Amino acid sequence: MAGTHASGGSFAEGKRLFGLKRWELALKEFIQVKNEPGAGKEDVELAYYMGLCYTKLGRYDDGLLYLEQVITAGADPLRIYQCRLTLAYIYVITNRSRLAEFELSQLMKNGFASAQIYTTLAYAAWVQKNFPRALELYEKALEIDENNTTAMNGIGYILVDTDRDIMKGFKLCRKAVDKHPQCAAYLDSLGWAYYKSGNPQEARMWLRRALDLAPGQEEIRRHIRVVIEDMRP
């Protein structure tokens, strides 16, 4: 690790705050360390944490800058794996799915074939409305980890939303919620599954739970609007 400053108090405090998910305060500590006189500007560990903080705060372009530094510096394989996964996530949610696929394909070429990679690839395919490909990739994730709730929820939602197999999709969404009852994305999928299976009253209840946990999610709000509109006499 370049620079002894990374073992100092500010860096340690930043890591402590990061562990508490207090991203903004953690980032302030890391920026302070970076700006110290004589600090190593290319410190890989510092860049790693700054990239993650920026990503958590939704400042994706800043996050990309620091995560790319970690990859370019040739950090240890685990760090590169984590950074490429995070880059792929950023590219997916910023509608750059092809770049996400590139990052993940690089990982797979290097022997990393995890359920998380397959679920991220599947999500990228879903964003591009390539539903057969998304289902195929989510299934691969389940082959690696049969209890992967991201894959369960992903398959369930697609089956329900595209009317491919509403009952099978409903069961998978229900299973994901049973395992993680406080996950807004899973609650949203289950609520939508109830709606698509003809139960708008139950749908509204689950969707409201999802919205309580994630009030800023437009997809949940869209689902609720559809359900409420359908319930009007």
Dist. CA 138–CA 146, nearest whole Å: 11
Tokens of 36: 């110290």
Q: Which long-range contacts (CB under 8 A, 24 or more apart) does 88-94 make?
A: 88/120, 88/124, 89/55, 89/120, 90/55, 90/60, 90/63, 90/64, 91/124, 92/120, 92/123, 92/124, 92/127, 93/60, 94/60
Dist. CA 135–CA 149, nearest whole Å: 14
Segment 50-92, tens digit of pLDDT: 999 999 999 999 999 999 999 888 768 888 888 888 998 898 8
The answer to the question of residue 17 being in a domain is no
The answer to the question of residue 2 being in a domain is no
188 or 113, greater pLDDT = 188
Task: Place 4 in a pLDDT band, splitting at 50, 70 and 90.
Answer: very low
**Lowest-confidence segment of 110-119, 191-200, 219-228 by average pLDDT:** 110-119
The yes-or-no verdict on residue 108 having pLDDT over 50 is yes
Residues listed for the chain: 233
Q: For residue 180, what is the DSSP state?
A: -
Tell me the CATH number at 181.
1.25.40.10
The answer to the question of residue 222 being in a domain is yes
Dist. CA 50–CA 219, nearest whole Å: 29
The answer to the question of residue 183 being in a domain is yes
The answer to the question of residue 83 being in a domain is no
Instruction: Read off the pLDDT of each residue in 210-230 and give the average, rounded to a whole number.
Output: 93
> How far lies 39's CA from each of 8, 14, 31, 43, 76, in Å?
11, 16, 11, 8, 21
Torsion angle of C-alpha atoms 140, 190, 101, 89, degrees rounded to 10: -120
Task: Place 1 in a pLDDT band, splitting at 50, 70 and 90.
Answer: very low
The answer to the question of residue 226 being in a domain is yes
The yes-or-no verdict on residue 172 having pLDDT over 50 is yes
Dist. CA 90–CA 64, nearest whole Å: 8
The count of domains in the chain is 1
The answer to the question of residue 232 being in a domain is yes
Segment 15-30, tens digit of pLDDT: 999 999 899 999 999 9
**Can you give the pTM of this predicted structure?**
0.69
User: What percentage of residues in the chain have a pLDDT greater than 90?
Assistant: 58
Chain centroid, CA 172 distance in Å = 19
Rounded to the nearest integer, the mean pLDDT of the chain is: 88
Instruction: Read off the pLDDT of each residue in 213-219 and give the average, rounded to a whole number.
Output: 91
The answer to the question of residue 131 being in a domain is no
Question: What are the φ and ψ backbone dihedral angles of 139, each rounded to 5 degrees?
Answer: -65, -40
Full domain range(s) for residue 179: 147-233
Residue carrying structure tokens 């690696």 = 144
Dist. CA 7–CA 199, nearest whole Å: 56
Instruction: Read off the pLDDT of each residue in 220-232 and give the average, rounded to a whole number.
Output: 93
The yes-or-no verdict on residue 98 having pLDDT over 90 is no
